Chain A
Amino acid sequence: MRGFQATEAGWQAILEPEEARILLSLSRQLQSLLADSLEPDALADGAVRRLLPDAYREDPEAAEEWRRLSRRGLVERKVAHAATLSRALAAPAIASEPTTITLEPSDALDWVRAVGDLRLVIADRIGIVVDGDEGTTAEPGLRELYDWLAWIQDDLVRVFEPGDGGADGDE
Protein backbone atom coordinates (compact mmCIF):
# COMPACT_ATOMS: atom_id res chain seq x y z
CA MET A 1 0.00 0.00 0.00
CA ARG A 2 1.24 3.40 -0.93
CA GLY A 3 -0.40 6.49 0.47
CA PHE A 4 -3.81 7.89 -0.35
CA GLN A 5 -4.00 10.39 -3.18
CA ALA A 6 -6.71 13.00 -3.57
CA THR A 7 -8.32 12.60 -7.01
CA GLU A 8 -11.44 13.86 -8.75
CA ALA A 9 -13.17 10.64 -7.78
CA GLY A 10 -12.19 10.79 -4.12
CA TRP A 11 -9.27 9.60 -2.06
CA GLN A 12 -7.63 6.63 -3.66
CA ALA A 13 -5.15 4.06 -2.49
CA ILE A 14 -4.09 0.72 -3.87
CA LEU A 15 -4.36 -2.20 -1.45
CA GLU A 16 -2.78 -5.60 -1.79
CA PRO A 17 -5.27 -8.39 -1.10
CA GLU A 18 -3.27 -9.44 1.96
CA GLU A 19 -3.31 -5.90 3.34
CA ALA A 20 -7.05 -5.69 2.80
CA ARG A 21 -7.59 -9.06 4.49
CA ILE A 22 -5.57 -8.03 7.53
CA LEU A 23 -7.33 -4.68 7.87
CA LEU A 24 -10.72 -6.30 7.34
CA SER A 25 -10.03 -8.88 10.00
CA LEU A 26 -8.94 -6.20 12.46
CA SER A 27 -11.94 -4.06 11.63
CA ARG A 28 -14.36 -6.93 12.20
CA GLN A 29 -12.70 -7.74 15.49
CA LEU A 30 -13.10 -4.11 16.51
CA GLN A 31 -16.79 -4.18 15.57
CA SER A 32 -17.22 -7.32 17.63
CA LEU A 33 -15.38 -5.86 20.63
CA LEU A 34 -17.50 -2.72 20.45
CA ALA A 35 -20.73 -4.69 20.03
CA ASP A 36 -19.95 -6.43 23.34
CA SER A 37 -18.75 -3.26 25.04
CA LEU A 38 -22.12 -2.44 26.61
CA GLU A 39 -22.19 -5.74 28.50
CA PRO A 40 -21.82 -5.31 32.25
CA ASP A 41 -18.40 -6.95 32.46
CA ALA A 42 -16.96 -5.32 29.33
CA LEU A 43 -15.08 -2.66 31.30
CA ALA A 44 -12.85 -5.38 32.72
CA ASP A 45 -11.08 -5.14 29.36
CA GLY A 46 -8.51 -2.35 29.36
CA ALA A 47 -9.03 -1.81 25.65
CA VAL A 48 -12.74 -1.15 26.18
CA ARG A 49 -11.95 1.29 28.98
CA ARG A 50 -9.61 3.12 26.65
CA LEU A 51 -12.09 3.16 23.74
CA LEU A 52 -14.83 4.41 26.04
CA PRO A 53 -13.16 6.35 28.81
CA ASP A 54 -14.93 7.97 31.73
CA ALA A 55 -15.89 11.59 31.11
CA TYR A 56 -15.39 12.53 34.77
CA ARG A 57 -12.30 11.57 36.70
CA GLU A 58 -13.15 12.85 40.14
CA ASP A 59 -16.85 12.15 40.26
CA PRO A 60 -17.97 8.52 39.92
CA GLU A 61 -21.66 9.44 39.97
CA ALA A 62 -21.30 11.99 37.18
CA ALA A 63 -19.17 9.50 35.28
CA GLU A 64 -21.86 6.85 35.63
CA GLU A 65 -24.64 9.19 34.58
CA TRP A 66 -22.69 10.35 31.56
CA ARG A 67 -21.96 6.74 30.67
CA ARG A 68 -25.64 5.89 30.88
CA LEU A 69 -26.65 8.77 28.62
CA SER A 70 -23.79 8.77 26.12
CA ARG A 71 -22.14 5.41 25.86
CA ARG A 72 -24.62 3.66 23.62
CA GLY A 73 -24.56 6.42 21.02
CA LEU A 74 -20.79 6.59 21.13
CA VAL A 75 -20.49 2.84 20.67
CA GLU A 76 -22.91 2.93 17.75
CA ARG A 77 -20.88 5.63 16.04
CA LYS A 78 -17.62 3.80 16.61
CA VAL A 79 -19.17 0.62 15.20
CA ALA A 80 -20.31 2.63 12.19
CA HIS A 81 -16.77 3.92 11.65
CA ALA A 82 -15.40 0.40 11.66
CA ALA A 83 -18.24 -0.72 9.38
CA THR A 84 -17.19 1.91 6.83
CA LEU A 85 -13.69 0.45 6.95
CA SER A 86 -14.99 -3.10 6.57
CA ARG A 87 -17.26 -2.14 3.69
CA ALA A 88 -14.44 -0.63 1.65
CA LEU A 89 -12.24 -3.66 2.28
CA ALA A 90 -14.71 -6.42 1.48
CA ALA A 91 -13.99 -6.59 -2.24
CA PRO A 92 -10.21 -5.90 -2.08
CA ALA A 93 -9.87 -8.67 0.52
CA ILE A 94 -11.15 -11.34 -1.86
CA ALA A 95 -9.47 -9.96 -4.97
CA SER A 96 -6.50 -11.73 -6.51
CA GLU A 97 -4.91 -8.49 -7.68
CA PRO A 98 -4.17 -5.21 -5.90
CA THR A 99 -7.35 -3.11 -5.78
CA THR A 100 -7.83 0.63 -5.90
CA ILE A 101 -10.18 1.78 -3.16
CA THR A 102 -11.89 5.15 -3.34
CA LEU A 103 -13.06 7.00 -0.24
CA GLU A 104 -15.37 9.96 0.05
CA PRO A 105 -14.15 12.49 2.64
CA SER A 106 -16.83 11.29 5.08
CA ASP A 107 -15.59 7.73 4.62
CA ALA A 108 -12.06 8.90 5.26
CA LEU A 109 -13.19 10.54 8.50
CA ASP A 110 -14.60 7.16 9.58
CA TRP A 111 -11.40 5.45 8.49
CA VAL A 112 -9.04 7.70 10.40
CA ARG A 113 -11.07 7.19 13.58
CA ALA A 114 -11.51 3.43 13.17
CA VAL A 115 -7.79 3.04 12.52
CA GLY A 116 -7.13 5.08 15.65
CA ASP A 117 -9.45 2.84 17.66
CA LEU A 118 -7.63 -0.22 16.33
CA ARG A 119 -4.36 1.26 17.55
CA LEU A 120 -5.86 1.85 21.00
CA VAL A 121 -6.91 -1.80 21.19
CA ILE A 122 -3.59 -3.16 19.95
CA ALA A 123 -1.69 -0.84 22.32
CA ASP A 124 -3.59 -2.43 25.19
CA ARG A 125 -2.91 -5.94 23.90
CA ILE A 126 0.83 -5.40 23.57
CA GLY A 127 1.19 -3.40 26.76
CA ILE A 128 1.81 0.14 25.57
CA VAL A 129 0.71 2.04 28.64
CA VAL A 130 2.97 5.05 29.05
CA ASP A 131 5.13 7.13 26.74
CA GLY A 132 8.17 5.25 25.59
CA ASP A 133 6.68 1.75 25.93
CA GLU A 134 7.75 -0.36 23.01
CA GLY A 135 5.26 -3.12 23.67
CA THR A 136 6.02 -6.72 24.48
CA THR A 137 7.14 -9.22 21.91
CA ALA A 138 4.67 -11.78 23.22
CA GLU A 139 2.41 -11.18 20.24
CA PRO A 140 4.57 -11.42 17.15
CA GLY A 141 3.41 -9.13 14.39
CA LEU A 142 1.14 -6.97 16.51
CA ARG A 143 3.77 -4.29 16.96
CA GLU A 144 4.26 -4.21 13.19
CA LEU A 145 0.51 -3.90 12.70
CA TYR A 146 0.43 -1.12 15.26
CA ASP A 147 3.10 0.80 13.37
CA TRP A 148 1.45 0.13 10.02
CA LEU A 149 -1.85 1.50 11.32
CA ALA A 150 0.01 4.58 12.56
CA TRP A 151 1.35 5.07 9.08
CA ILE A 152 -2.15 4.79 7.58
CA GLN A 153 -3.57 7.23 10.11
CA ASP A 154 -0.81 9.75 9.56
CA ASP A 155 -1.29 9.37 5.82
CA LEU A 156 -5.02 10.09 6.10
CA VAL A 157 -4.34 13.18 8.23
CA ARG A 158 -1.93 14.32 5.53
CA VAL A 159 -4.59 14.00 2.83
CA PHE A 160 -7.15 15.79 5.00
CA GLU A 161 -4.88 18.79 5.09
CA PRO A 162 -3.02 19.22 1.83
CA GLY A 163 0.18 21.16 2.23
CA ASP A 164 0.67 20.00 5.81
CA GLY A 165 4.13 18.94 6.66
CA GLY A 166 2.72 16.70 9.36
CA ALA A 167 4.58 15.70 12.49
CA ASP A 168 6.12 12.38 13.26
CA GLY A 169 6.19 10.36 16.42
CA ASP A 170 3.79 9.34 19.12
CA GLU A 171 2.05 11.67 21.44
Chain B
Amino acid sequence: MFSRLRDTRSVTPPAGTSSSVAERLDEQTLHASQVPWSTVIWNDPVNLMSYVSWVFRRHFGMTREDAERAMLAVHHDGRATVAEGNREAMERHVEAMHEYGLWATVEKAPR
Protein backbone atom coordinates (compact mmCIF):
# COMPACT_ATOMS: atom_id res chain seq x y z
CA MET B 1 0.00 0.00 0.00
CA PHE B 2 1.25 3.47 -0.85
CA SER B 3 1.44 6.04 1.85
CA ARG B 4 -0.97 8.87 1.51
CA LEU B 5 0.04 12.01 -0.29
CA ARG B 6 -1.07 14.34 2.50
CA ASP B 7 1.40 12.77 4.91
CA THR B 8 4.30 13.97 2.83
CA ARG B 9 3.13 17.50 2.27
CA SER B 10 4.87 20.26 4.10
CA VAL B 11 2.75 23.07 2.71
CA THR B 12 -0.95 23.36 3.33
CA PRO B 13 -2.90 26.22 1.77
CA PRO B 14 -4.53 28.51 4.34
CA ALA B 15 -8.15 27.71 4.97
CA GLY B 16 -10.50 29.54 2.67
CA THR B 17 -8.08 29.85 -0.20
CA SER B 18 -7.74 27.31 -2.89
CA SER B 19 -4.21 26.44 -3.85
CA SER B 20 -3.21 27.73 -7.24
CA VAL B 21 -1.56 25.51 -9.75
CA ALA B 22 1.72 27.31 -9.14
CA GLU B 23 1.55 26.70 -5.40
CA ARG B 24 0.73 23.11 -6.02
CA LEU B 25 3.66 22.69 -8.36
CA ASP B 26 5.93 24.29 -5.77
CA GLU B 27 4.78 21.73 -3.26
CA GLN B 28 5.56 18.99 -5.65
CA THR B 29 9.03 20.37 -6.32
CA LEU B 30 9.77 20.22 -2.61
CA HIS B 31 9.26 16.51 -2.65
CA ALA B 32 10.51 15.69 -6.08
CA SER B 33 14.06 15.02 -4.98
CA GLN B 34 13.01 12.77 -2.13
CA VAL B 35 9.98 10.97 -3.44
CA PRO B 36 10.06 9.41 -6.88
CA TRP B 37 6.72 8.86 -8.55
CA SER B 38 5.66 6.59 -11.32
CA THR B 39 3.16 6.51 -14.14
CA VAL B 40 1.26 3.23 -14.16
CA ILE B 41 -0.84 1.95 -17.07
CA TRP B 42 -3.64 -0.46 -16.21
CA ASN B 43 -5.01 -3.18 -18.41
CA ASP B 44 -8.35 -2.63 -20.07
CA PRO B 45 -10.27 -4.89 -22.43
CA VAL B 46 -11.00 -2.15 -24.95
CA ASN B 47 -7.88 -0.48 -26.31
CA LEU B 48 -6.17 -2.27 -29.16
CA MET B 49 -2.72 -3.67 -28.57
CA SER B 50 -1.50 -1.90 -31.70
CA TYR B 51 -2.89 1.39 -30.42
CA VAL B 52 -1.40 1.08 -26.92
CA SER B 53 2.00 0.22 -28.32
CA TRP B 54 1.80 3.17 -30.72
CA VAL B 55 0.81 5.54 -27.89
CA PHE B 56 3.82 4.41 -25.86
CA ARG B 57 6.13 5.02 -28.80
CA ARG B 58 4.58 8.34 -29.67
CA HIS B 59 4.27 9.83 -26.20
CA PHE B 60 7.20 8.30 -24.32
CA GLY B 61 9.51 7.94 -27.30
CA MET B 62 9.93 4.24 -26.61
CA THR B 63 11.54 1.98 -29.16
CA ARG B 64 9.23 -0.49 -30.82
CA GLU B 65 10.70 -3.25 -28.71
CA ASP B 66 10.25 -1.38 -25.43
CA ALA B 67 6.73 -0.30 -26.33
CA GLU B 68 5.74 -3.86 -27.18
CA ARG B 69 7.27 -5.12 -23.95
CA ALA B 70 5.43 -2.49 -21.90
CA MET B 71 2.16 -3.15 -23.72
CA LEU B 72 2.46 -6.89 -23.12
CA ALA B 73 3.34 -6.31 -19.46
CA VAL B 74 0.12 -4.32 -19.08
CA HIS B 75 -1.78 -7.03 -20.90
CA HIS B 76 -0.40 -9.98 -18.93
CA ASP B 77 0.28 -8.49 -15.50
CA GLY B 78 -2.65 -6.09 -15.42
CA ARG B 79 -0.38 -3.09 -15.00
CA ALA B 80 3.02 -1.72 -15.88
CA THR B 81 5.12 1.26 -14.89
CA VAL B 82 6.00 3.25 -17.99
CA ALA B 83 7.72 6.29 -16.47
CA GLU B 84 9.29 7.45 -13.24
CA GLY B 85 10.21 10.94 -12.12
CA ASN B 86 8.87 13.87 -10.21
CA ARG B 87 5.24 14.06 -9.42
CA GLU B 88 4.47 16.97 -11.70
CA ALA B 89 5.91 15.15 -14.70
CA MET B 90 4.01 11.97 -13.83
CA GLU B 91 0.74 13.89 -13.60
CA ARG B 92 1.40 15.33 -17.04
CA HIS B 93 1.99 11.83 -18.41
CA VAL B 94 -1.19 10.54 -16.79
CA GLU B 95 -3.23 13.39 -18.20
CA ALA B 96 -1.79 12.70 -21.66
CA MET B 97 -2.59 9.00 -21.28
CA HIS B 98 -6.17 9.85 -20.34
CA GLU B 99 -6.35 12.02 -23.42
CA TYR B 100 -5.35 8.94 -25.41
CA GLY B 101 -8.01 6.93 -23.60
CA LEU B 102 -5.59 4.78 -21.64
CA TRP B 103 -6.23 4.04 -18.00
CA ALA B 104 -3.27 5.53 -16.15
CA THR B 105 -2.53 6.53 -12.57
CA VAL B 106 0.18 8.27 -10.57
CA GLU B 107 1.82 6.27 -7.80
CA LYS B 108 4.66 6.72 -5.43
CA ALA B 109 7.48 4.65 -6.82
CA PRO B 110 8.52 1.73 -4.61
CA ARG B 111 11.73 2.45 -2.74
Contact = CB atoms under 8 A, between A and B. Distances in A.
Interface of A: 50-59, 61-62, 65-66, 69-70, 73-74, 77-78, 112-113, 116-117, 119-120, 123, 128-133, 150, 153-154, 157-158, 160-161, 164, 166-171
B2 A58 contact: yes
Contacts of B98: 52-53, 55, 74
Given A59-B4, A129-B45, 13 more contacts: A53-B98, A58-B107, A61-B6, A69-B21, A70-B95, A74-B98, A116-B51, A116-B100, A153-B51, A154-B51, A157-B48, A166-B50, A169-B48
Nearest to B57: A161
B105 A170 contact: no
B46 A128 contact: yes
A138 B50 CA distance: 28
Interface of B: 1-2, 4-6, 21, 24, 43-54, 57-58, 68, 71, 74-75, 91, 94-95, 98-101, 103-107
Q: Which of A50, A161, A170 has the largest number of chain B CB atoms within 10 A? A: A170
A160 B53 CA distance: 12
Given A61-B5, A66-B91, A74-B95, A116 B45 contact: no
B46 A55 contact: no
B99 A78 contact: yes
What secondary structure prevails in chain B residues at the interface with A?
Answer: helix
Contact of A154 (B50, B100, B103, B106): B50
A123 B21 contact: no
B105 A55 contact: yes
Given A51-B101, A62-B5, A128 B45 contact: yes
B106 A120 contact: no
Given A50-B103, A170-B49, A55 B94 contact: yes
A80 to B, nearest CB: 10
Contact of B101 (A58, A59, A70, A120): A120
Given A113-B100, A132-B45, A171-B44, A160 B51 contact: no
8 contacts: A50-B103, A59-B2, A59-B6, A61-B5, A120-B46, A120-B101, A158-B50, A169-B48
